[in-house]
Amino acid sequence: MPKRTDRLTSDIGWSTPDQINVRGMDLPSEILGHMNLGDMAFLLLAHRQPSAEESTVFNAILVALVEHGITPSAMAARITYMGAPESLQAAVAAGLCGLGSVFVGSMEGAAKMLYDVLPPDQLGTGADLEVIAKQTVADFRARAAIVPGLGHPLHKPVDPRTPRLFEIAAQNGKSGEYIALIELIQKEAEAASGKALPINATGAIGAICCEFGFPWEIVRGFGVMARSIGLVGHILEESTNPIAFELWQRTEEEILEASGPSAHGAAK
């Protein structure tokens, strides 16, 4: 629980009758028309404007997180919209509520793992990444835990986003020891398990976040902001090509048949 403070402050920005300032930049003259939406997110999270290279890499990360088809969060948003079409914002909110430990967790898990085994202050000190990778995989296997950021139910043997994200990172000066390390961890994990364990998009993004030096606790926020864009897209499709009503009817009918009075031997 935080301590009491005498004074409420915020460094995000301020407004006066003729000025609007965000993180030290004048919104009308320095931000609008100069920065894209991903840059604006970077400004709010890193408290400075990204370089052109950072902008390219950071936008690519966020863009990769926007849309993943009919995910559980898209289903929740569409089903919610069916009941409250006048509250689009609440349907997006419902979709976001499920972005918890199961789906977005692997992204922050990958970042946390990389920071844990290679703390930022050891970058550039000649750490032996192969040794670290071996030890990391051994540790996860010893406690029968899944290495975060590896493996995908559909995208095998390669998640097609990963090589492309790593290519973009490399072309823009953001490919360093963390990306090298997760690639070694993957090789080690595949060798140890005998299974295809591609670095999935969340693993790739987790590693790139480490290259940026973002705290791992921030990483979930990237998923949340990007997915809210994707959810608006799903809700708009639901408004013209609905799936929620049919999903509901089928589910109700199937459960009635399986669990209703005839299943319980009741006379009907």
> Where in 229-258 is the site for a second copy (CB under 8 A)?
229-230, 232-237, 239, 241-249, 251-252, 254-256, 258
Q: To the nearest whole angstrom, how small is the minimum distance from the Cβ of residue 58 to a second copy?
A: 9
The C-alpha angle with vertex 56 and arms to 50 and 58, in degrees rounded to 5, equals 65
Tell me which H or E stretch contains 252. Answer: helix 244-259
Q: Which two tokens stand for residue 254?
A: 């199937």
Among 101, 131, 191, 213, binds a second copy (CB under 8 A): 101
Tokens of 189: 């994990």
Contact by Cβ (8 Å): 72, 55? no
Touching a second copy, residues 179-198 (CB under 8 A): none
Question: Which residues in the 143-162 window bind a second copy by CB under 8 A?
Answer: 154-156, 158, 160-161
- In whole angstroms, give the CA distance from residue 219 to residue 203: 11
How many other C-beta atoms can be found within 10 angstroms of the C-beta atom of residue 229? 15
By beta-carbon proximity to a second copy, the closer residue of 66 and 123 is 66
Q: Of 51 and 87, which CB lies nearer to a second copy in the complex structure?
A: 87
Q: 61-100 mask for a second copy (x: CB under 8 A)? A: -xxx-xxxxxxxx-xx--xxxxxxxxxxxxxxxxxxxxxx
CA Rg, the chain, in Å? 23
Please state the closest distance from residue 205 (CB atom) to a second copy, in A: 11
Q: How many residues at the interface with a second copy, by CB under 8 A? A: 129
CB of 208 to a second copy, least distance (A): 12
d(CA 211, CA 206): 9
Q: How far is the CB of 132 from a second copy (least distance, A)?
A: 28
**Separation of alpha carbons 212 and 206, rounded Å:** 10
Cβ contacts of residue 38 below 8 Å, gap of 6+? 55, 58, 59, 62, 63
Window 3-62: residues binding a second copy (CB under 8 A): 3-5, 7-22, 27-29, 31-33, 35-41, 44-45, 55-56, 59-60, 62
Amino acid at 99: L
Q: Residue 153 or residue 194: which is nearer to a second copy going by CB?
A: 153
As measured in angstroms, the least distance from the Cβ of 116 to a second copy is 19
On whether the CB atoms of residues 263 and 109 are closer than 8 A, the answer is no
Q: Which is nearer to a second copy, 133 or 200 (CB)?
A: 200
